[in-house]
Structure 1
Amino acid sequence: MLGSKSPAGLIVGAVLGAIIVYSGWVASTGMRQAAESQSKALDNFRAWLSAYEALLPVEGQWRETFRSGIDSRGQDLVEVARSLRLDEAGLSFSDVGLRSKSVESVAWEGVPVGLVRTCVTGGDSDGLRVTASTMAELMKGISKLSRKDIEIDAITTRVDKGIPVAVLSGLCVLVRPEETGDAT
């Protein structure tokens, strides 16, 4: 009879029902774990993106503070002189006698930081000789050299034939190595 329920049929139905319920539970557990994993990955990406976007202005400041000035093939003293930005400080100097004393990669705790320290001197003096039209302008210009990209060991000032002069001893400028396609 079609309407009668046999014990074997009930057992098969119960087993099939149990298999379907178990398969559904396994599938839902797997989907839940995948969704949690995807949610964690998305949270990690959002945190990374937030940190990256927060650092973008820092990169711009890095590029503005430390100008490009060293050609990978050798020393470019004209670019080094420009990176000193002495004219922006109101100081004049003769680049005729400008020469390099040393060029070295800058490292912090043994790790290169992407900067080159170029130490320069001028002419026969112990340092680079800069001038201004008045002593007040000379002092104002020297104070503008207090920047993150310039290192100076000593400054001596004097008046030479009515012209205020400062000799910048141990003058080094920190510049970024020239990059391909960098228009800075």
Structure 2
Amino acid sequence: MAGGAKAQDGRAGEPKLSLSLHGGQMTTNGIDEVFYPNKTDFTDAYFGGVIFGYEVPLSDPRFAVGAEVQLNHHFGQDTFQELVLPVTIRYSPARPWPVMLDSFAFGLGLSHTTETPLLEVVKRGESQRTLVYFSLETAFSVGEGDDDIFFRLHHRSDGYGLFAADSGSNAFAVGWRHGF
């Protein structure tokens, strides 16, 4: 009952800091087909990075809001750095099934790259350095502490026209997070 135990322990009402390491592989898929396993087209573009997180529980301890600072290095087909600044909301089920399930999270913010990503230009014909970012995450508890392993969709896009360039990209990432 890892998720439920965290919500019921003495730290349930306290803000939480976390440090994560994560890495992922880019796809050529659009958001409308990225979750179809038989259509997922991984490409020779990868990233690795570090995430600093801060979360504050809401009045219902199953929910928390927070913010992240991600610093990523992209390599393979293209080389550049990325700064991601999302606001997050996290749900931790009181009685998770399976019991290792810790939480689900959604993040929304901005992604800024040091260069215009070539993968986005090749796929969509254009792109730009700053785009909307969102993430979908599922986390699983590891051991008795505040460590978890997470799987995340890393998405950049024009936000349905919020930015001039009609562009975007998707990646699947896996990471390890330590809370303190």
* TM-score, normalised by the number of residues in structure 2: 0.27
More helix by share: 1
* TM-score, normalised by the number of residues in structure 1: 0.27
